[in-house]
Structure 1
């Protein structure tokens, strides 16, 4: 007898991941397809939408190859906010421009701020215009590629593109829309037509729905391509970090989710709308929820860079060396701004800095400094969150970086915050599967994914990390002029 199950697929920055999950939350199978975004110029990150659909179908075919489960619903998520523009026939016009790691639209941000007013944008949209926002990226395409833009009719992100391919529906979730600043009004929770027409003229914006709502059912054509049953429901989906938060139950008021991945993401659930020019105020993935969020441009990306740079076989080898290095990395301090920085610095021209290097330092010291840099960045974001009115009562960690004990321990030691770890930390694809299950059952995240352990801060490291954090906060302003000049040289 076949076991009923659901599938969740997430399109991430460095890979697409899929999971087959039983209706009780048991992870039956998982699959991954790695990819690398194109970098056509300094500060530019793009990806071909054909990759998203191809990898989705490859993942679902792999997950369903053993014919031992009956898939009854599908959930999707993806990196974002991204900008994929299509023509009147829904053919992509160019590769998608990715989220805040793509910093090309600085001039458009400045122009839109002057045109619309930064205070008005923050009040209506919940977030200031930054490289994270989708609106300026649309404006960049309109200004820099006008002939192409003249044929643009629709706007997609990875999750909504999958929904379109699977169901034929043109729909975007409210949370993703709230990161399309300045196109969406977070108070009215609808597209704001005057600014949408000014920033994205000629674009038919998608219908809006909540992440867990059904966008439609699988068409016969999509079912054949994905080896799935026709007629099963598909969630509207959302941006990956918000699906990660759902996967570990971090959507209650006072919760803070830390997502350990290629980038570090922070999502704080608040009882009422809060704004800060250094953070992102958004609507949540679920109806009635509000978030104040932050994101570092790199975290795991720096550790991957170091692994490749030093020729290490794998991360466990470097984690062991980093643990032996001890707190403070033997006097090394790193700014992890290797792709500029998002919150709370909001500086696309920031660059990575490694201070204190000597001939005695080792691979382990460098790797430890990278892990600690993430911890210092998280602490900086937390301080800004609380200064904006946030009230953090519980921290829940998720993502691939939680697999080893060292990274989460370092972050708890630096921030002084315990972190709750759930049994399954696979992340967004599992969150998508949960939303899919909730379309057809009364699945509960606490039953699906109970708490496994809690990481507690170690008091013996507090003084050392407080001292280093003070230096970390000084390092950016003390080096900003130099790295900005270097960034300008890199752009030539």
Structure 2
């Protein structure tokens, strides 16, 4: 690319939308962020409005196109996933998108489909993963059962990345990696849709054509150019799920690499030589052609630190990190289970709940914040153990995401796991991976030159014994508290249903009262 050119990468995440303008040598010329909150209409339900995502993306793109005198030559996209955004035949959303594994509404559908399709092992052998809250298929089945009028009108479904691609180009598609998380609709061995199971769950949906994340899917339309400020006619690259885009952004796609994504949730992606599966992990097609992954994800990580900051009435995260560092290893004897939104891997329990054990009146904000950071580190160790037990080689760990800032969180994870972590020059995340794909579509680009490793976080051996003991307590705490937390999860759901029923009764009462008044006035 010429020196006056640039590419754009944009990502729709759980807590924000982000965009980057990047030069041919990988320098980030400008960034733009729009923070948002997801909707939680009921316990276990997490959604986001598709039109709001597009409006944020268009706003970000307008800001980036005005950032300096650069000729933009390509754009890449990514987004959280797997999600379920259903639309009519014209691509108009029929309801908000249902999010990935943090949305746990489809438990009954997971159980029913697992039985109908011959059991978890049969599904895992064909699709790479058993059905779980991460799977898109059961959420489509939930829509069919709970919102039949909506589902009857549904003709297409999108991921956040393909939704952006559709709005920019008018091309209906999904990338192979995202499709491999739409279990059980996709055959991971054949790398194609599996029609018998897709037709069973969603017979009226038009399954999108498949492509690889780095492929060009179309060009920016004149209408999209008017909305975004992008030049009409430039190529748009397919993109993929944000975590896989982040792995690409730091070069963590070689066999034996493990990417740790520090974000609202914690994600782990291990690149493997051949397809691997495990009962509570996700075997997927990789972001690059010919690659395979074994992956895991925690339902919360940064979400807990954000929750604590809100409770503490501050958004001064550097100050909270100072307090956590002062608390010291072990957080003053506090131990936390980070299952504040259920848990994905390796627990696979949507009814798990957060636990804070060991609290006394002497504990401080710093202790609680430190306990949250250590809890996610124990969760990482638990996932790494599951990956290694399944045969995944963990030879190199690369850290990425906003949680790498400041250094304390990554240091705690290294201390707890005993693993070194490579820290790249830029931890912008998925939007940088999307920009890399865009640049690669114009001319060959080396990610190691774009985003070199600049630091290494090493475990401190003097803390190993202490954290080994605490980790064993962590492993025991979940089964010891499960009967109580499951009962509380059921209580929460019952309380929500009762409250929803009262609101419905009140609403109908108000409607009847209004009708009576209108009838009296008419008389």
| TM-score of the pair, normalised by structure 1 | 0.99
Q: Are residue 81 (structure 1) and residue 82 (structure 2) matched?
A: yes
Q: CA deviation at 1:138?
A: 0.3
Distance 1:385 1:438 in 2: 31
Distance 1:211 1:283 in 2: 11
Q: CA offsets, 1:156-175, max 9 Å, x none? A: 01100111111111010000
SS at match of 2:252: coil
Distance 1:404 1:57 in 2: 31
SS at match of 1:150: helix
Aligned 1:20-99 pairs, distance under 5 A = 20-99=21-100
Q: CA deviation at 1:443?
A: 1.1
Large movers: runs of 4+ above 6 Å: none
Per the alignment, do residues 96 and 313 of structure 1 end up closer, same or farther by CA in structure 2, a change over 3 Å counting? closer
Partner of 2:356: 354
Partner of 2:231: 229
Distance 2:286 2:226 in 1: 34
Partner of 1:343: 345
Distance 1:303 1:147 in 2: 39
Query: Quick one: which of 468, 489, 492 aligns to 2:491?
Result: 489
SS at match of 1:236: strand
Partner of 1:291: 293
Q: CA deviation at 1:318?
A: 0.7
Q: CA deviation at 1:441?
A: 1.5
Aligned 1:188-227 pairs, distance under 5 A = 188-227=190-229
Distance 1:314 1:374 in 2: 20
Partner of 1:135: 137
SS at match of 1:237: strand
SS at match of 2:153: coil
Say which one has the larger Rg. Answer: 2
Partner of 2:512: none
Q: CA deviation at 1:485?
A: 0.2
Q: Are residue 365 (structure 1) and residue 363 (structure 2) matched?
A: no
Q: CA offsets, 1:49-74, max 9 Å, x none? A: 01111011100111111341110000
Distance 1:383 1:432 in 2: 30
Per the alignment, do residues 191 and 453 of structure 1 end up closer, same or farther by CA in structure 2, a change over 3 Å counting? same
Distance 1:317 1:285 in 2: 37
Distance 2:227 2:310 in 1: 36
Contact 2:30–2:67 (CA under 8 A) maintained in structure 1: no
Partner of 1:169: 171
SS at match of 1:401: helix
Q: CA deviation at 1:148?
A: 1.1
Contact 1:2–1:68 (CA under 8 A) maintained in structure 2: no
Q: CA deviation at 1:312?
A: 2.6
Partner of 1:159: 161
Q: What is the root-mean-square deviation in Å for CA atoms of aligned residues? A: 0.8
Distance 2:121 2:15 in 1: 35
Aligned 1:339-418 pairs, distance under 5 A = 339-418=341-420
Distance 2:170 2:315 in 1: 44
> Structure 1 stretches of 5 or more lacking a match?
none
Q: CA offsets, 1:69-114, max 9 Å, x none? A: 1100000000000000011221111000000000000000000011
Distance 1:107 1:66 in 2: 49
Distance 2:315 2:431 in 1: 27
Contact 1:141–1:149 (CA under 8 A) maintained in structure 2: yes
Q: CA deviation at 1:299?
A: 0.2
Contact 1:43–1:103 (CA under 8 A) maintained in structure 2: yes
Aligned 1:254-293 pairs, distance under 5 A = 254-293=256-295
Q: CA deviation at 1:2?
A: 7.8
Aligned 1:237-248 pairs, distance under 5 A = 237-248=239-250
Q: Are residue 103 (structure 1) and residue 133 (structure 2) matched?
A: no
